[in-house]
Structure 1
């Protein structure tokens, strides 16, 4: 919704400043890590990548519908922070478990694939 008020969406705050339905472009302001940014002439489906200071993975904003004074889209942010992922303990197989290895099947050397003795011409 077009407004001077910022709307919180995930790890950032957004404010729509202008929506151009004819050319399918928008102008918006963002607040990321207490810093205000302005992004002008963003096209429909154009990804906006935001790199935050506390996260090594970027946040992505995509607008997929532009109406008069209103836009729709999504914010794609990592679910977990890097520090949360490093604390995950990985499951180890039990010490007495033996790995099972499947052996590939092979055909006997005298038999060709997709051929049988009945379909071969006589004399061969």
Structure 2
């Protein structure tokens, strides 16, 4: 079993602090994705909201970006399970930690739980927009 911490954060406030015993993990920069925060009616929303999700799915490269990340995570988690590692951090950053990174973290959590079912536990942490 691997404990995966999935985080979103704002690069403006710095990288998240690594808390696992072994350290390590991934930090993905979502600033390469078109920013829904620059669209007036989406600005007050977050990556948890339907209109932001719709925008990211239809107006940006987010779907392809997430598929590439999933391939990396699948390779790593499969290897970690064989090696006996017990933790991994996966962080997503963007300018404000509100739209792109939060959405990516939410989708990654869902994918991990579906792809690895009883092989991972997921702890989610949205540093700028906690639940």
TM-score tier, shorter chain, comes to under 0.3
Normalised TM-score (structure 2): 0.24
- The answer to which structure has the higher strand fraction is 1
Normalised TM-score (structure 1): 0.25
> Greater CA radius of gyration, 1 or 2?
1
- The answer to which structure has the higher helix fraction is 2
